[in-house]
């Protein structure tokens, strides 16, 4: 092992901070970081269970390591041998251990193979049919929550959290009731009532089994800080220009702040995407591939997503887009870029990202971010459909989001100037990429759709497509216009799609 990875164990009522460890490389050992009652971190050094001819990556990527997964064996990092002066402490703690044993459920109580009592099952394995007092109160709260939409000032209430927005489509019954009560038809985005938490985002909301799964997947583990920094930097350098869905200034401000860290789901997804474009040797297997490392980050992010760990809907969409950076091949239909792009689009439409937010109560920075996220989903939808021969999922007739402008890439907050101003080349690249994807959709509809096969090929359609492409090329800005005499990566990437 050449790196270390850390785990921070916190009280159950505290959300684990995704701030990376500051530990450096320490040969073949790994370090477990624990936070004590006094708030200080203690470090415990561990060694791998056995030597491997192939370099073990448990320290950098977590347990299970790639080797043990490949050979289907249990991956363990044994605890250090007990020191002599520890015997006295163990003797003192024996009474506490005995007391804990006495508190364990008796064999007669229903429990699963892990020893967890599942309060949602009866002794015969059937799900319970009655709610607890707290569950009943929570359900009653949810049932009455949408009544808040009927309050007079609710339609024009400011939306303080962009990830907590309720979307009411025009044809929904609730939308008709709200319009009838308020006499307004132009509002489709509303602040989500405070007593509705679409998902769960705190450890206290996860049961023991879910927590165990997250720990087994290493969802709370991060690479050491130098490697983590390199992965984040690689993401913003090579991936973000293609999918400008994350406000870099805001993310980096949180990334450097252990008291207000970024979403752990989003961070693991960024590490996944970053691992695909990072050349650090610590991420590579014996064949020089980063696929095993990417798979580890993918499993961590997916475990957090499956556990409903995050409740910010914008963050969920961002993470879903980035999960598409890992896939096993064209034959895989449940973990590829097409699958995750389609899921991200569905979640985004559920939050109303396909609708214009210009008249909404979102803040200006959030309006810009929403537009970038939606048009990123549009480009992914079209480019993946072309590359894999799949049908498109986004119908432009259902969307009224305005076209992106250079102003939409500004990351200034209401009272904070952005640390990272937009790169003119990156901005022009994405603006032209969106226009090119519009033409892709036109070509797919006219020449490759099932409906087009049932009608005769129209020469006018082909001429229209050719003219659109020629017009795009003629008006392509010089910053991203590729020329053989002055090769530029982003210009070359854009024209390879052309």
pLDDT of 389 > 80? The answer is: yes
Write down the mean pLDDT value for the chain: 76
Question: For residue 7, what pLDDT is reported?
Answer: 52
Q: Which of 138-152, 169-183, 191-205, 451-465 has the largest mean confidence?
A: 451-465
- Residue 322: Cβ within 10 Å count: 29
**What tokens were used for 489?**
């990566």
pLDDT of 315 > 70? The answer is: yes
Question: For residue 174, what pLDDT is reported?
Answer: 63
Q: Give the residue from 195, 177, 184 showing the smallest Cα distance to 155.
A: 184
pLDDT of 304 > 50? The answer is: yes
Q: What residues are paired with 166 via a beta bridge? A: 190
More confident call, 27 vs 305:
305
DSSP per residue over 6-51, as a string? EEEE--TTSPPP-PPB-----TTEEEEEEE-TTS-EEEEEEE-SS-
Least confident of 170-179, 322-331, 486-495: 170-179
- What is this structure's pTM? 0.72
Question: For residue 462, what pLDDT is reported?
Answer: 77
pLDDT of 173 > 70? The answer is: no
Q: Each residue of 39-51: pLDDT tens digit?
A: 444 434 444 444 4
pLDDT of 35 > 50? The answer is: no
Q: What is the mean pLDDT of residues 430-458?
A: 84
Q: What is the mean pLDDT of residues 112-118?
A: 40
CB 383 within 8 Å of CB 440: yes
Question: For residue 333, what pLDDT is reported?
Answer: 83
More confident call, 203 vs 63:
63
**Based on the number of CB atoms within 10 Å of its own CB, is 317 exposed (0-12), middle (13-18) or buried (19 or more)?**
buried
Q: What is the mean pLDDT of residues 204-225?
A: 88
Q: What is the mean pLDDT of residues 104-114?
A: 41
More confident call, 4 vs 454:
454
Indicate the domain borders of the chain: 6-70, 147-191, 423-498
Q: Which of 18-22, 83-87, 305-309, 462-466 has the largest mean confidence?
A: 305-309
What CA–CA distance (Å, rounded) separates 171 from 210?
37
Q: Each residue of 116-140: pLDDT tens digit?
A: 444 555 556 677 666 655 555 556 5
Long-range Cβ pairs for the range 68-76 (8 Å, 24+)? 75/49, 76/49
Least confident of 181-195, 247-261, 405-419: 181-195
- Residue 32: Cβ within 10 Å count: 18
Dihedral of alpha carbons 164, 165, 166, 169, sign: negative
Kindly give, in sequence order, each residue whose CB lies less than 8 Å from that of residue 391, ignoring residues fewer than 6 positions away.
Answer: 385, 449
Three-state SS for 157?
coil
pLDDT of 435 > 80? The answer is: yes
């Amino acid at each position: 092992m050449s790196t270390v990875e850390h785990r921070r164990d916190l009280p159950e009522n505290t959300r684990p901070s995704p701030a990376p460890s500051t530990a450096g490389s320490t040969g073949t050992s790994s370090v477990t970081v624990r936070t004590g009652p006094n708030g200080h971190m203690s470090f415990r050094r561990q060694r791998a269970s056995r030597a491997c001819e192939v370099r073990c990556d448990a320290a950098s990527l977590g347990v299970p390591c790639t080797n043990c997964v490949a050979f289907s064996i249990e991956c363990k990092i044994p605890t250090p041998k007990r020191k002599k002066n520890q015997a006295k402490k163990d003797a003192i703690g024996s009474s506490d251990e005995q007391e804990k044993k006495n508190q364990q459920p008796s064999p007669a109580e229903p429990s699963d193979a892990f020893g967890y009592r599942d309060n949602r099952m009866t002794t015969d394995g059937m799900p319970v049919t009655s709610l607890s007092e707290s569950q009943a109160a929570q359900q009653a709260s949810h049932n009455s929550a949408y009544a808040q939409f009927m309050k007079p000032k609710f339609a024009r209430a400011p939306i303080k959290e962009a990830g907590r927005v309720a979307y009411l489509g025009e044809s929904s019954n609730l939308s008709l009731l709200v319009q009838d009560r308020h006499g307004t038809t132009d509002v489709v985005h509303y602040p989500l009532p405070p007593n509705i938490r679409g998902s769960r985002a705190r450890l206290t909301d996860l049961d023991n089994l879910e927590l165990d799964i997250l720990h087994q997947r290493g969802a709370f583990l991060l690479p050491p800080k130098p490697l983590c920094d390199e992965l984040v930097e690689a993401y913003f350098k090579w991936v973000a220009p293609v999918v400008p869905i994350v406000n870099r200034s805001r993310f980096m401000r949180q990334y450097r702040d252990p008291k207000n860290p970024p979403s752990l789901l989003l961070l693991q997804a960024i590490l996944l995407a970053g691992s695909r474009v990072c050349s650090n040797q610590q991420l590579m297997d014996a064949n020089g591939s980063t696929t095993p490392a990417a798979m580890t980050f993918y499993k961590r992010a997916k475990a957090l997503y499956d556990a409903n760990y995050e409740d910010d809907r914008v963050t969920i969409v961002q993470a879903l887009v980035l999960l598409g950076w890992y896939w096993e091949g064209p034959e895989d239909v449940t973990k590829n870029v097409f699958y995750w792009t389609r899921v991200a689009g569905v979640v985004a439409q559920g939050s109303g990202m396909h609708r214009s937010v210009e008249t909404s109560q979102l803040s200006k920075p959030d309006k810009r971010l929403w537009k970038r996220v939606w048009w990123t989903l549009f480009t992914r939808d079209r480019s993946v459909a072309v590359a894999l021969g799949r049908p498109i999922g986004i119908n432009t007739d259902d969307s009224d989001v305005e076209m992106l402008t250079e102003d939409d890439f500004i990351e200034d907050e209401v009272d904070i100037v952005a640390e990272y101003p937009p790169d003119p080349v990156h901005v022009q690249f994405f603006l032209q990429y969106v226009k090119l994807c519009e033409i892709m959709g036109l070509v797919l509809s006219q020449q490759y759709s099932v409906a087009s096969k049932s009608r005769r090929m129209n020469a006018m359609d082909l001429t229209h497509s050719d003219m659109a492409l020629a017009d795009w090329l003629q008006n392509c800005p010089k910053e991203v216009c590729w020329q053989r005499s002055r090769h530029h990566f982003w210009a070359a990437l854009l024209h390879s799609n052309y």
